[in-house]
Structure 1
Amino acid sequence: MNLNQKAILLIGLLTLMPGLFAQVVRERINFDKDWKFAFGHPCDVEKDFNTGTSYFTYLAKAGFGDGAAAVAFDDRTWRPLNLPHDWAVEVPFDAKGSHSHGYKAIGRNFPDVSVGWYRKHFTVDEADYGKQFYIDFEGVSRDAKVWVNGHYLGNEPSGYQSFGYNITDILNYGGENVVAVRADVTLEEGWYYEGAGIYRHVWLQMNAPLHVRKNGTFVIADIDADKAKVTVKTEVENRNQEASTYIVSQQIVNAEGKVLAKAKSGENTIAAMAKGEVDLTMDVANPHLWSLEDPYLHKVITQIVVDGKVIDEYKTRTGFRTVHFDADKGFFLNGKHVKLKGTNNHQDHAGVGCAMPDELIRWRLQQLKNFGSNAYRSSHNPATPELLDMCDEMGILVIDENRLMGSHQEAFDEVERLIRRDRNHPCIFVWSMGNEEWGIECNVLGERITTTMQNFARTLDPTRPMNAAVSGGCNQGVSAAVEVMGYNYLGQWDTDKHHELFPDQPSMGTEEGSTWATRGIYFDDPDKHYMRAYDHLPRPSWETIETSWKHYAERDYLAGMFIWTGFDYRGEPTPYAWPSITSYFGMMDLCGFPKDNVFYLKSWWGNEPVLHLLPHWNWAGKEGDTIQVWAYSNCDEVELFLNGKTLGRKTMEVNEHLEWPVIYKPGKLKAVGYTKGKKVMEETVETTADAYRVELTAHKTRLKNSANDLAVVTVKVLDKKGRSVPVADNLIKFSVEGPAHLIGVGNGNPTSLEKDKFFDEYEVIQTPNIEKYGLGEADIDLPSEATDVLEKDSKNKMMVTQFDLTKDDVAKGKFIWYSKKVGDHLQAYLNGTAIQPMDGNLDEMAVFNIDNALLKEGTNKLVLVGVPLPPPNQWDEPNKHLGDIQMVKAADQWQRKLFNGLAQVIVQPDESGTGEIILNATAEGLKSTKLILTVE
């Protein structure tokens, strides 16, 4: 067995510290590395590795996983990769693809790439028998089925729910184990890009049999003046085969590591295979509160003690704060009024799709904070756990949203998993029960379901209010029952009227704006599907970003608003269709490059001086035409100059912008901002010369040796004076040297059909079962040496299989035959030529590199000459499968066109070591450049 293909994981990690595990038995191990991936099929069983076709299937008998779910399945030909992984971002665009999912070639019209299989081999130390093991998935898109060692564990239909299984009893301790996951995206769950595959982290959890349950603590802080009464509810599970007696010990520790409070229970007895709860309350004097400005975090350390020994230690990170909605005055955090300045966001980024490394999530959150956003709505599904951790750390409020409304048991289960997983996060200030449920939102069903869901959710978390986002404008149904009203779009709501009808109901704008803009475009171009980036009405009856914010800013009863959206995302390319493949709604494009609306928001949402001019000043061919020049600023006044001549000084009204009609002349536009009559800042845009050289800028240059870290690199071209050329569209090519690789490119162009990724393409060529022939029984060309073997003994047979290749396959592919034993004393021939003698006693998992000179376009015949395996018993059938062939086509060079002067490339450490990374960028006719990064 080729051990390089396996994650020999726990032998090292769990035995290095025997002293520790003699008492505390809890370890959470990242399971992202060393997976194998291949496409299956939703309906063709042969293409789906004949899974579920055995006489006894995995649904009939325990441990009877077959096909790709079987322990012995040969996955050596599959593509090796690490998680997180989104295969949807890797497939091409196609006009037959789903409009709402960005025309990616997956789904019903593309069955060959709509099912993905993942397999991982791992080893558990024999000494760890008796401990409890769980495998936890943060998110798999979608309809995931999971097997471990051939045992079917279950199905998770949603691509957004975290889920897991206890695998203790089915592990092979001291030997090899296999987890298999099948994801099927044939049917869509959302109406926006969702990705495909295991796009979030996977974890292996080890506990003592008596332990704190997964997500088993709930920290409730009752804050009054200068003290906090902190109650910690702890759920304990006993997987022992007999009753156990234990003590629960709690500590509250501040960010500096100081213990602020302690508590210890008396002895508790819990029956075998039972669950129990222990509640302890502690007082904390003068608690350091979590806030937007000071996101201070505490840690609660829960210990399970048996016979004086700590056998489990569970750490809960949380923050102490109060949240309160007032129907007339809005939202309050720690008693202080806060206007919510939020954005809606899907999990999707240029180059990587939904499979975002942790640092990219953090980078995106920082881009939102940079323009003054203080709140985030996870649209329209539970957020990735790491995003919530980062919002805790960065001081960002979160609406954590349930995926689908309902009051049946399955819907309750989804709400419970959401709230139990996330309720200790201080960033979450409200739970959203659902979004725009048009079938129920304006009728009595919606009112009933909302009431029932809220009542159920309060049993899990009585400390936060419930919300739902409603678009009907109907003042009944969901909007009549929901605790905190969520308005979706002023074009559909009269918020003042609703407030009069429901004066005791707090409210906020859960979706506002929905405006259309293409970064760097200032004249509509319907033929190219480009929309001007001035803040304009998307529809006649709707609102702009500016008018939306003014509406919410001027009304105290409105707690604030969440813009649709912070970032562009794949899918929903309103108002266009193919070949538009991303939305136009974002304040930033798919790469996170800001559109001009960002600077309007920064002016009125942020706390620093802002002065921004639009558009750029490169308008060759428009000399003499009138160009609308806008200024976004929070200065009292702004004066505009063209080539040194004033065009007027204007007063800036609060929450507005300024405009000047300017006759275009090449040169320099300059804006000067004044506050209280004094000049405080200026901004210029200039007509540039032609592009001269490439420039690369990373958001950071020192990286950790971790797959969770990365550098987001901005690519642009400069003229000879060092000015960025805003209309450049050069094709830039990239290469990287050192301990890193590239994981994605983008440019924010909503109609770009360029590749997001360049990777070695793996294809499994499945060979049919062999046909056996004696000499003269089939028309097979073989050399005389093989004929002699056949003539020598009638037991020798020709064992024949075949496979088809295209001309491109033969020219570009690298082929490896992963053989399986079908006989003894074998010799192999490919298209009549011996490829390598085979020893009859050779391990059946032998590997053979195939010389491309032996291959041809069309049908290729692979023949083994020797003695076929006899059946051990008359009812047995010996192996008839020669093994499969792996074809690998090397990746093309990474490249991307600039769009309106910008592109992006993402560099990720490959964990092969530390040292210097060199990112090279070249473009035809331009001076090349390199960027040096360091992995520490």
Structure 2
Amino acid sequence: MNKLSFNEGWEFLKLPDGNILNPYKPENFSEKDYCKVILPHTWYTDEDQYRGLAVYWKMLQVSEEWQNVFLEFEGADQHCKVFVNGIQIGEHRGAYSCFRVELPGPFLTEKALRLEVYVSNAENQTISPIFGDFTIFGGLYRNVNLLITEKEHFDYLYYGTNGIIASSSLEGETGLLEIESHVIAPDGAMIHYQVINDDGNVVTQITELANKTVRIQIPHPYLWNGKGESRLYVLRATLFVNGKEVDEVCERIGFRSIKMEADTGFYLNGRKEKIRGVSMHQDFAEVFSAVTKEHQDINFKLIEEIGANSLRLSHYQHPQYHYDRCDEEGYIVWAEIPMLKMTEDRELFENAKYQLTELILQNIHHPSICFWGIQNEIAMFKDAPYMHEMCRELYSYARELDDTRLITGANLYTVKFESELNKITDMVGYNIYFGWYYGEMNDYDHFLDQFHAACPDIPIGVSEYGVDTNTALHSDQPAVRDYSEEYQALYSETVYRIFESKDYLWGSFVWNMFDFSSSRRNEGGKKYINQKGLVTYDRKVRKDAFYYYKAMWSKEPFIHICSKRFIKRAENAVDIKAYTNQKEAALYGNQGNELICSAHNNGNGTVIFKDIELLPGKNSFVVRSLGTDSPEDEVTFEKVDEKESSYQLPDSGAGKAVRNWFLKEDDLIREGYFSLKDSAYDITQNQEAMKIFYEFAPATAETVEKDEGIPLGLSLLSILGRDKDRNPDFKMEDLNHALNQIKKY
């Protein structure tokens, strides 16, 4: 097989009146209406968030030597139909997986072919995701390639794979490799398999009939060992027909064992490995989803710097290059499908199931992938029995496709501990935002311990946590919802220490490594962006919290002074805080020549120099390690008469967490009775509870009962907190007291 890039020379046109079900160009269209583009390409901009149909076209010059030709699309967002000379030859429904279409043989007798690719990102309730806090960009946003093959070849149409499904595992000291092959060739075709180590030596080889499952044992293989040492092998499969070599494919594989225990967490090759991870979306400032290898390399350089050992590649299948890099660099990976809102629509479910098939079969050879995710926060709208059945079906199907990995899901914090959603998968993640959307930072401690006590046999971890941060905003008294850089730093210090203290916790994933696009957002002083990243959307600024995690994870000696962008200070004295992985550091003034004081690392990656006097004008300081490596950092603060107003947002609601104007949560719950802590969905299922709801908050109750876009999986407390302006004339404690009189069972 010969792969040729097919990214250049395309022309592009939006078709706002078109429909992907019956794509067409308007009668009055002209070739002049097209614009020239080079792939990868998305039509999205923040100024024009187009959701609809578009067409790409290009001429293909046919070579007389070609026997078989496939068009390979590494990603088309999100519904795609492919036409050749006006005839449809392929279709794909789903934005994130690779797919291919074959050019029918008769077309190859022509000298040139007109290719038209229709792509739609219009809202479609039968293609997952139908909901999510990220942008559906649209476009041919990943590479397009030509695959040129002989008449007989591996089956490149088999769920977007290369026809070889290679699954590796470890049993004792023996590597096990199971290979399922799919070929387009006559009976009797043979495949010669070679396993090659990183020195280029063939460690084993075997020849078997094509379309037959092969099992190979490799004694004492090199291990893929995470960040410690991740050694890989190459599996080379060569197809022979009548003794003639006709096709060849290669996959990199690795051998490792994985295990999850409810009491002690995750194990890699028998070694306990706490997940110290970050989550990542695929997009990047200015290019959005149409990222190149150069953009992706920037991402991985920053992830390497922070020292994480795991990535949650959310919330969909990422480009192959991401999984390849994770294999090479030893990251433990959570890979998942974009199932974020699950309805009873069977067509939507079958689409998610098909995307799960593509995810697993296209990526089963990657040793870095340890977890398959089948859902994220589907209970945001309700936690209903049909969801449990569908998730069980997805679980069973994933287990049928791959019985060597752990299957997981990420639940919203409102999912009750006893929910069936916690009993389906091999492990559970909770997306929890205490100290941001609800509660207080220290609430993680009690919540996690409560879950483990109630569900001691279920492995639990934190699959999302974080706060939004605008690096232009600052505070010497950071508070929830002030969006300041200082609050994100304080939050990270407070919360991560709790996670590290829990031996039973398999680990956590920071949400998010990078700021990312979300067309529905307008908060924290910026539109269309989720600012929970540790690094800005353009990857140019590492926020202070980035360096906290670097202090906790990285072995590279460093010191970083916090709040460098918080330059103008009205205080007479300030605390100077630095993140470091060094044991002790000293603060110097006078351009680093005058020792002021020294301080020890508090064991949480932090050194603090208290009550440092600021003189009028500019004040420059240096913090230097007292260790042998002596890394240092410097900062300049300017003493001013009044606080700088640009550091705060007007009317941001800073400090007003949802809990602050409610009762304490411990006072809300009466065991066996309803309360404000129950989900809106549970309230709607009880006539007496709904009657009380209408009595106290009729406007919100009506919206909830009509299911008008409110996530019914959220607690009544949370929903009313966001909707209190429509219900000004009642007290929360009175509604909660009334609900406390209604038995649940």
Indicate conservation of the 8 Å contact 1:373/1:605, yes or no.
yes
**Per the alignment, in what secondary structure is the counterpart of residue 178 of structure 2?**
strand
Aligned match of 2:623 in 667, 671, 680? 671
Aligned match of 1:367 in 291, 296, 302? 302
Aligned match of 2:154 in 204, 207, 212? 212
Aligned match of 1:305 in 240, 248, 252? 240
Indicate conservation of the 8 Å contact 2:266/2:273, yes or no.
yes
**Per the alignment, in what secondary structure is the counterpart of residue 264 of structure 1?**
strand
Q: TM-score, structure 2 length as denominator?
A: 0.75
Indicate conservation of the 8 Å contact 2:15/2:25, yes or no.
no
**Alignment partner, residue 449 of structure 2:** 496
Aligned match of 1:686 in 613, 630, 636? 636
Is 1:547 aligned with 2:491? no
What is the CA deviation profile of residues 680-716 of structure 1, one whole-angstrom value per residue up to 9, with x for unaligned ones? 4433223699xxxxxxxxxxxxxxxxxxxxxxxxxxx
CA distance in 2, matches of 1:148, 1:617: 55
**Alignment partner, residue 517 of structure 1:** 469
- Give, in angstroms, the shift of residue 74 of structure 1: 6.5
- Give, in angstroms, the shift of residue 561 of structure 1: 0.8
**Per the alignment, in what secondary structure is the counterpart of residue 301 of structure 1?**
strand
**Alignment partner, residue 228 of structure 1:** 175
- Give, in angstroms, the shift of residue 510 of structure 1: 0.8
Describe the shift of the 1:309–1:331 C-alpha distance in structure 2 as closer, same or farther (beyond 3 A): same
**What are structure 2's unaligned runs of at least 5 residues?**
125-129, 439-443, 651-745
**Per the alignment, in what secondary structure is the counterpart of residue 324 of structure 1?**
strand
Matches of residues 803-814 of structure 1 in structure 2 within 5 Å? none
**Alignment partner, residue 544 of structure 2:** 596
**Alignment partner, residue 562 of structure 2:** 614
CA distance in 2, matches of 1:575, 1:517: 13
- Give, in angstroms, the shift of residue 430 of structure 1: 0.5
What is the CA deviation profile of residues 153-183 of structure 1, one whole-angstrom value per residue up to 9, with x for unaligned ones? 3443432233222223352434111221222
- Give, in angstroms, the shift of residue 626 of structure 1: 4.0
**Alignment partner, residue 80 of structure 1:** 36
Is 1:418 aligned with 2:359? yes
Describe the shift of the 1:582–1:490 C-alpha distance in structure 2 as closer, same or farther (beyond 3 A): closer
Is 1:254 aligned with 2:197? yes
**Alignment partner, residue 389 of structure 2:** 448
Aligned match of 2:577 in 623, 630, 654? 630
CA distance in 2, matches of 1:569, 1:231: 38
Matches of residues 577-588 of structure 1 in structure 2 within 5 Å? 580-588=527-535
- Give, in angstroms, the shift of residue 520 of structure 1: 5.3
C-alpha RMSD of matched pairs (Å): 3.4
What is the CA deviation profile of residues 285-337 of structure 1, one whole-angstrom value per residue up to 9, with x for unaligned ones? 44353532333221111122222111221212222222222222211222222
Q: Give, as a single letter, the amino acid of the residue that structure 1 aligns with 2:598.
A: R
CA distance in 2, matches of 1:671, 1:576: 34
- Give, in angstroms, the shift of residue 192 of structure 1: 1.4
Describe the shift of the 1:646–1:442 C-alpha distance in structure 2 as closer, same or farther (beyond 3 A): farther
Indicate conservation of the 8 Å contact 1:236/1:277, yes or no.
no
**Alignment partner, residue 71 of structure 2:** 135
Describe the shift of the 1:628–1:192 C-alpha distance in structure 2 as closer, same or farther (beyond 3 A): farther
Q: TM-score, structure 1 length as denominator?
A: 0.60
**Alignment partner, residue 428 of structure 1:** 369
Q: Give, as a single letter, the amino acid of the residue that structure 2 aligns with 1:233.
A: E
Matches of residues 710-859 of structure 1 in structure 2 within 5 Å? none
Matches of residues 32-431 of structure 1 in structure 2 within 5 Å? 32-41=7-16, 43=17, 67=25, 75=31, 78-89=34-45, 93=46, 104-107=47-50, 114-128=52-66, 131-169=67-105, 171-187=107-123, 189=130, 190-214=132-156, 215=161, 216-238=163-185, 243-265=186-208, 267=209, 276-404=211-339, 408-431=349-372
CA distance in 1, matches of 2:317, 2:116: 24
**Per the alignment, in what secondary structure is the counterpart of residue 581 of structure 1?**
strand
**Per the alignment, in what secondary structure is the counterpart of residue 387 of structure 2?**
helix
Q: Give, as a single letter, the amino acid of the residue that structure 1 aligns with 2:542.
A: P
Q: Counting strand residues as a fraction of each chain, which structure ranks higher?
A: 1
CA distance in 2, matches of 1:342, 1:570: 21
Q: Give, as a single letter, the amino acid of the residue that structure 2 aligns with 1:561.
A: S
CA distance in 1, matches of 2:425, 2:484: 38
Q: Give, as a single letter, the amino acid of the residue that structure 2 aligns with 1:457.
A: A
Indicate conservation of the 8 Å contact 1:248/1:278, yes or no.
no
CA distance in 1, matches of 2:91, 2:560: 51
CA distance in 1, matches of 2:595, 2:225: 48
What is the CA deviation profile of residues 87-139 of structure 1, one whole-angstrom value per residue up to 9, with x for unaligned ones? 213xxx4xxxxxxxxxx42246xxxxx432211111222332xx332222111
- Give, in angstroms, the shift of residue 145 of structure 1: 2.5
Describe the shift of the 1:524–1:669 C-alpha distance in structure 2 as closer, same or farther (beyond 3 A): closer
Describe the shift of the 1:174–1:294 C-alpha distance in structure 2 as closer, same or farther (beyond 3 A): farther
**Per the alignment, in what secondary structure is the counterpart of residue 481 of structure 1?**
coil
**Alignment partner, residue 557 of structure 1:** 504
CA distance in 2, matches of 1:463, 1:578: 46
Describe the shift of the 1:525–1:37 C-alpha distance in structure 2 as closer, same or farther (beyond 3 A): farther
Aligned match of 2:598 in 645, 649, 653? 649
CA distance in 2, matches of 1:628, 1:337: 38
What is the CA deviation profile of residues 232-252 of structure 1, one whole-angstrom value per residue up to 9, with x for unaligned ones? 2222334xxxx5321221111
- Give, in angstroms, the shift of residue 574 of structure 1: 6.3
Q: Give, as a single letter, the amino acid of the residue that structure 2 aligns with 1:161.
A: S
Describe the shift of the 1:661–1:197 C-alpha distance in structure 2 as closer, same or farther (beyond 3 A): farther
What is the CA deviation profile of residues 18-71 of structure 1, one whole-angstrom value per residue up to 9, with x for unaligned ones? xxxxxxxx2222221111112221x2xxxx5xx99xxxxx96xxxxx864899x
CA distance in 2, matches of 1:467, 1:497: 20
Describe the shift of the 1:121–1:281 C-alpha distance in structure 2 as closer, same or farther (beyond 3 A): same
Indicate conservation of the 8 Å contact 1:362/1:390, yes or no.
no
- Give, in angstroms, the shift of residue 229 of structure 1: 3.2
Is 1:481 aligned with 2:416? no
What is the CA deviation profile of residues 378-401 of structure 1, one whole-angstrom value per residue up to 9, with x for unaligned ones? 221111122112222222222111
User: In terms of Rg, which structure is larger?
Assistant: 1
Q: Give, as a single letter, the amino acid of the residue that structure 1 aligns with 2:292.
A: P
Indicate conservation of the 8 Å contact 1:106/1:186, yes or no.
no
**Alignment partner, residue 742 of structure 1:** none
Q: Give, as a single letter, the amino acid of the residue that structure 2 aligns with 1:518.
A: N
CA distance in 1, matches of 2:482, 2:433: 25
**Per the alignment, in what secondary structure is the counterpart of residue 571 of structure 1?**
strand
Indicate conservation of the 8 Å contact 1:570/1:583, yes or no.
yes
CA distance in 2, matches of 1:580, 1:439: 23
Describe the shift of the 1:650–1:687 C-alpha distance in structure 2 as closer, same or farther (beyond 3 A): closer
Q: Give, as a single letter, the amino acid of the residue that structure 1 aligns with 2:296.
A: I
**Per the alignment, in what secondary structure is the counterpart of residue 529 of structure 2?**
coil
Aligned residues between the structures:
607
**Alignment partner, residue 533 of structure 1:** 485
Please, which moves more after superposition, 314-323 or 465-474?
A: 314-323
